Structure 1
Amino acid sequence: MRRLFLSGALTAIAIAAGAGEIPPEALESLPSADVVILGETHDNPWHHANQAVAVAAIQPAALVFEMLTPEQAARVVPDLRGDAAALGEALGWAESGWPDFTMYHPIFTAAPEAAIYGAALPRDEVRRAVDEGAAPVFGEEAAAYGLAEPLPADEQAARETSQMEAHCNAMPAEMMGGMVEAQRLRDAALARATQQALDETGGPVAVITGNGHARSDWGMGRALARVAPEAHVIAIGQFESPPAEAPPFDLWLVTPPAERPDPCAMFRGE
């Protein structure tokens, strides 16, 4: 793995403080790292535009997408990469349930030579994790990625509360433990794909994923640190309003909110 190091006054100030808010233009001159995790709210176009800016500046050797399976990633070939409609069709994006591909396509073209890796898992495996736990679904490497260990009680409780809030406090509380296991499974899958990308390309690697997986305290970075402890990772979060307290990211920024209907209306029968 090629080793990269922190540089620049921005990082010296921001990282020393634990988490630093940055303006969008700072994405054009991010500090060097082996892995840069670029968080998002999935349906926010400003978040994807910012990711494209960051990727253009980093020019990573590899891009890892939460949204793609390894099989889909293999379909990203040079002849299709510049054509949003053709690439979206090849990926079956419209049937995937992710927001409009036009928001994501500029990320693919921002680093046209970057290898593409997918970290998404089949839905049946995610459902199994809800019922059986993440470790048996992930397989023989589960312990290496931390899945064989139970979470500390306080973290388990916090994560179950977070899952309940994400589901509008409308789902049975007893389901939240399984939802946390599904999240842990996805974190480990993202870490595995990122480690593969580092090993095969030498890095740097940029990861496109939701804020929940990007967070530095219990997201994919923690799983990655277990298998690639020498890798320097920077986690960047994006918010639609200023957070009430210091968020669990190395760097973070605030954007306008996306226009969307009330996501909890369906739970209220509206």
Structure 2
Amino acid sequence: MKTLFSMLRRPVATFVALILILMLVNVSAPRADNRDVPSPPTDWVSTLDRDHPLVGKIYATASNTVVSAQDMGRALALARFVLLGEIHDNPDHHLWQAWAIRAVSKLRGARIVEGHPQIDVIAMEMIRADQYAALDRFYGRDVEVPRPRPPKALARFLEWDKSGWPDFKIYEPIISQALYEQLVIVPASPSKELSRKVSKDWDNALSQGEIKRLGLDIAFSSDLENALTAEIGKSHCGLIPEAAFPAMARVQRFRDATMADAMLSVGPYKGAILIAGNGHVRRDRGVPFFLMARGVTPKQIVSIAHVEVRPGETNPAAYVDSTPEGKPAVDYVVFTPRTDRPDPCEKMRKDMSKGAPTPSTEKKSEPARNRATDVKP
């Protein structure tokens, strides 16, 4: 009997030991999970202040805490409209924007956002409405048998080198990711001609129906209006006469309303991503203002500012713009090193001293604290 009991007990003990071993392996071994966001791009291209303690950190303004890439990625994937700000000439900001596009697509592919609107479109501030024909040629919409084109071909079709935007090479990661995820790139900015009309002759540039449709009939509060005009003065280094501010403010509002319209072109049941300067993604008076004016709920919008660290400033809250009511103007802030660049205000002074024309009202009015680099050259 004892021998029989020993024979029966041995297989049970072996089985229990095997289960324990498998449990230990399961706990200790790293597991790949398609619900994890991709690794953030921390091989920095910008050279200044890489060792700053905030570099690579993500700050959530609502909770006043530093959060993980996973946390922010999930918030993006759950949103209908994702607004990705930037300083235009910082290549790390474009790498993080491309990462955000990838994170949204990956998490949506993992079905964690079942029932949420599908994001189909990436609207880019750098592309104007009068460039649709060039986009059609890039995508091959004008031929019977379209062929895939490399991302860098878009620069040729858009004549990017004549646009005044920074080198296309630093924007290429965004284009590559959009094509890989099969998201359609659309213009976010109005045509040059219409921008000029809005600047010079607001009363006749747009019909009353178009003004109402875009949400431009909703006036800013006096606090918002004053904040916008003050920012215009700062972003142009105090070199623009105040008499030009109202026209520039009108163009700024028109541009933001047009960007919102580009995002809403997906229809009532889908979503979009915006690539634009940090000033345009502000929740109080930027593109979100016009999205909400047209019925989008605040919870459907997530806004991210990508900012450069400042020497000696380690409080993440100090980098966050505030609304007139004292609330954060964006939802998340991503910190990167600084790009080495000449002082744009000094360049503007030299250009004006040589008799060069003052900055066009078509150009963006965004903060001088970004060393005016959010303003298109």
TM-score scaled to structure 1, two decimals? 0.83
Structure 2 counterpart of 1:141, one-letter code: E
- Partner Cα separation in structure 1 for residue 138 and residue 104 of structure 2: 20
% same residue: 30
Task: Give the alignment partner of residue 234 of structure 1, picking from 302, 316, 321.
Answer: 302
Structure 1 counterpart of 2:124, one-letter code: F
- Partner Cα separation in structure 1 for residue 193 and residue 237 of structure 2: 24
- Partner Cα separation in structure 1 for residue 274 and residue 176 of structure 2: 15
Match of 1:6 in 2: none
Task: Report if aligned partners of 2:264, 2:271 keep a CA contact under 8 Å in 1.
Answer: no
Task: Report if aligned partners of 1:30, 1:54 keep a CA contact under 8 Å in 2.
Answer: no
Alignment of 1:68-147 (within 5 A): 68-70=127-129, 71=132, 72-77=134-139, 79=147, 81-84=149-152, 86-112=153-179, 113-133=182-202, 136-139=204-207, 140-147=209-216
- Partner Cα separation in structure 1 for residue 125 and residue 320 of structure 2: 25
1:184-225 per-residue CA deviation (whole Å, 9 max, x = no partner) reads: 0000100111100244xx433111111111111110111011
The farther-off stretch of 184-193 and 121-130 is 121-130
Q: Which runs of 5+ in 1 are unaligned?
A: 1-12
Any idea what SS the aligned residue of 2:318 has?
Answer: coil
The farther-off stretch of 44-53 and 254-263 is 254-263
Task: Give the alignment partner of residue 91 of structure 2, picking from 34, 42, 45.
Answer: 45
Match of 2:114 in 1: none
- Partner Cα separation in structure 2 for residue 97 and residue 23 of structure 1: 35
Any idea what SS the aligned residue of 1:164 has?
Answer: helix
Structure 2 counterpart of 1:53, one-letter code: W
- Partner Cα separation in structure 1 for residue 62 and residue 230 of structure 2: 30
Alignment of 1:141-156 (within 5 A): 141-156=210-225
Task: Give the alignment partner of residue 66 of structure 1, picking from 111, 122, 125.
Answer: 125
How many Å apart are 1:21 and its aligned residue?
A: 5.2
Structure 2 counterpart of 1:261, one-letter code: P
Q: Which runs of 5+ in 2 are unaligned?
A: 1-58, 106-118, 141-146, 310-315, 322-328, 352-377
Structure 2 counterpart of 1:114, one-letter code: L
Residue 190 (structure 1) aligned with residue 277 (structure 2): no
Query: Which structure has the bigger radius of gyration?
Result: 2
- Partner Cα separation in structure 2 for residue 183 and residue 111 of structure 1: 27
- Partner Cα separation in structure 2 for residue 21 and residue 218 of structure 1: 25
- Partner Cα separation in structure 1 for residue 345 and residue 331 of structure 2: 30
Provide the aligned C-alpha RMSD in A. Answer: 2.5
Question: How many residues end up aligned between the 2 structures?
Answer: 253
CA gap of 1:22–1:190, structure 2 versus 1, over 3 A, is farther
Structure 1 counterpart of 2:266, one-letter code: A
How many Å apart are 1:29 and its aligned residue?
A: 4.3
Structure 2 counterpart of 1:49, one-letter code: L
Task: Give the alignment partner of residue 330 of structure 2, picking from 243, 249, 256.
Answer: 249
Task: Report if aligned partners of 1:187, 1:213 keep a CA contact under 8 Å in 2.
Answer: yes
Match of 1:7 in 2: none
1:76-120 per-residue CA deviation (whole Å, 9 max, x = no partner) reads: 417454341x22101211111111111112112213211121122
CA gap of 1:80–1:98, structure 2 versus 1, over 3 A, is farther
How many Å apart are 1:24 and its aligned residue?
A: 6.0
Any idea what SS the aligned residue of 1:148 has?
Answer: coil
1:129-170 per-residue CA deviation (whole Å, 9 max, x = no partner) reads: 22333x753432212333124322222111111000000111
- Partner Cα separation in structure 1 for residue 191 and residue 65 of structure 2: 36
TM-score scaled to structure 2, two decimals? 0.61
Task: Report if aligned partners of 1:117, 1:197 keep a CA contact under 8 Å in 2.
Answer: no
Larger RCO (alpha carbons 8 Å, 6+ apart)? 1
